[in-house]
């Protein structure tokens, strides 16, 4: 199977009461870990690339790594998506360069400007057979170089979504219902709670329309502990409870973005490896267990959180 867009994936996910995982990729080991788990679980998958990933690994290397995964995993649908595209130019470069899906994130701009930029990207993307994710509302946390302070974050306003979708023609919509980017999503001691009332109001206004959740890592305490035990310092790292994501996946949420959890698994595993083997210096030796742990974490997400195992 060649790279696919998310259109068919989202239709099946919406009607099937599950979500497709969107995992960020930055190097070969991460691509392999994610796609091997998805192949074994027969799950569709979205591999997404941020502006930072393109700056780190180079566009061509990332596209070729993903193309290699498509060859190695012919049984599963794989989409290649630009995460948090910040301008028409970045989106165009990914559309021209082999991506099947792009996000234009103009959510920090005023409503009318967000519509204008998004519509321009949609026109170009649709002319080239590529689908577009847009965003309304502002998540807290760090994404690429942009750090949205908690007091600047705001929930999506359901009364804006119909006008936004009809005027832009976007194919899916990321909304802010309390998730946030990074490993510090909630204050220690507070009870994390997503705003399901907003999600339900949005989906009532946009029937059958795929909704996206960013900032959906759950920050597994097992890996926070591993990082902290072996020389790291991540006090108070807390994520979104997995049961709440599972519930969202049963509603209109068709795409759930997970990146920080994979980073934690990789970093925790490598820290542990070095602490236990201070004499080792072959990157293959420490990347191998890191890749294996990311793979098992992705499998857990597919089966227990997203509900997309067996849906390829
Ligand atoms: O939302 C942002 C993603 O986790 C990607 O992070 O911009 O550091 O590549 P990045
Ligand atoms: P996390 O930081 O919660 O993994 O979110 C990732 C994300 O939304 C990528 O766009
Ligand atoms: Zn995001």
78 φ/ψ angles, rounded to the nearest 5 degrees: -125, 130
The predicted model scores a pTM of 0.97
pLDDT at 2: 87
Residue 143: pLDDT over 90: no
- Cα separation, 5 vs 248, whole angstroms: 22
The residue to mutate among 181, 184, 194, having the most atoms of ligand 2 within 8 angstroms of its beta carbon, is: 181
In the predicted model, is pLDDT for residue 147 greater than 80?
no
Give yes or no for a contact between 252 and 202, defined as CB atoms under 8 angstroms apart.
yes
CA of 140 to the centre of ligand 3 (A): 10
Q: Dihedral sign, CA of 161, 164, 166, 170? A: negative
Contact 168, 135 (CB under 8 A): no
Atom of ligand 1 nearest to the CA of 215: 1
Per the annotation, the verdict on 83 as an active-site residue is yes
- 26 in contact with ligand 2, CB cutoff 6 A: no
Kindly report, residue by residue over 153-203, the tens digit of the pLDDT: 799 999 999 999 999 999 999 999 999 999 999 999 999 999 999 999 999
Q: What does the DSSP 8-state code read for residue 141?
A: E
Q: Ligand 1 within 6 A of 39 CB?
A: no
Helix (H, G, I), strand (E, B) or coil at 50: strand
Q: What is the pLDDT of residue 145?
A: 55
Report the SS3 class of residue 43. coil
pLDDT at 153: 79
Pick the atom of ligand 2 nearest to 181's CA: 2
The answer on pLDDT for 62 being more than 60 is yes
Residue 260: CB within 6 Å of ligand 2? yes
Minimal-distance CA residue to ligand 1 atom 9: 52
Given a cut of 80, whether residue 144 has pLDDT beyond it is no
Confidence of residue 151 (pLDDT cuts 50, 70, 90): low
pLDDT tens profile 153-164: 799 999 999 999
Lookup result for tokens 């907003």: 198
Q: Which two tokens stand for residue 268?
A: 């925790």
Share of the chain above pLDDT 90, in %: 93
């Amino acid at each position: 199977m060649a790279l696919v867009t998310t259109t068919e994936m989202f239709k099946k996910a919406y009607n099937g009461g599950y979500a497709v995982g969107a995992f960020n990729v930055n190097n070969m080991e991460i691509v392999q870990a994610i796609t091997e788990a998805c192949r074994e679980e027969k799950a569709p998958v979205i591999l997404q690339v941020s502006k930072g990933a393109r700056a780190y690994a180079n566009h061509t290397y990332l596209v070729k790594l993903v193309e290699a995964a498509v060859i190695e995993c012919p049984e599963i649908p794989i989409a290649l998506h630009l995460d948090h595209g910040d301008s028409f130019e970045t989106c165009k470069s990914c559309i021209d360069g082999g991506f099947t899906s792009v996000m234009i994130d103009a959510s920090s701009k005023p409503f009318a400007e967000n519509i204008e930029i998004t519509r321009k990207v949609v026109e170009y993307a649709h002319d080239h057979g590529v689908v577009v994710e847009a965003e309304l509302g502002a998540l807290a946390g760090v994404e690429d170089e942009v750090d949205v302070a908690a007091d600047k974050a705001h929930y999506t306003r359901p009364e804006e979504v119909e006008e936004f979708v009809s005027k832009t023609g976007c194919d899916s919509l990321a909304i802010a219902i309390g998730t946030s980017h990074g490993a510090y999503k909630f204050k220690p001691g507070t009870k994390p709670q997503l705003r399901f009332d907003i999600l339900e109001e949005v989906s009532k206004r946009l029937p059958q329309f795929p909704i996206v959740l960013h900032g959906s890592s759950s920050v597994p305490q097992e890996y926070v502990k591993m990082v902290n035990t072996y020389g790291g310092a991540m006090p108070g790292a807390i994520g979104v409870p997995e049961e709440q994501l599972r519930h969202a996946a049963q509603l209109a949420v068709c795409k759930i973005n997970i990146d920080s959890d994979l980073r934690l698994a990789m970093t925790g595993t490598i820290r542990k490896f070095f602490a236990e083997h201070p004499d080792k210096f072959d990157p293959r030796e420490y990347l191998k267990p890191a890749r294996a742990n990311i793979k098992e974490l992705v499998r857990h997400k597919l089966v227990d959180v997203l509900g997309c195992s067996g849906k390829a």
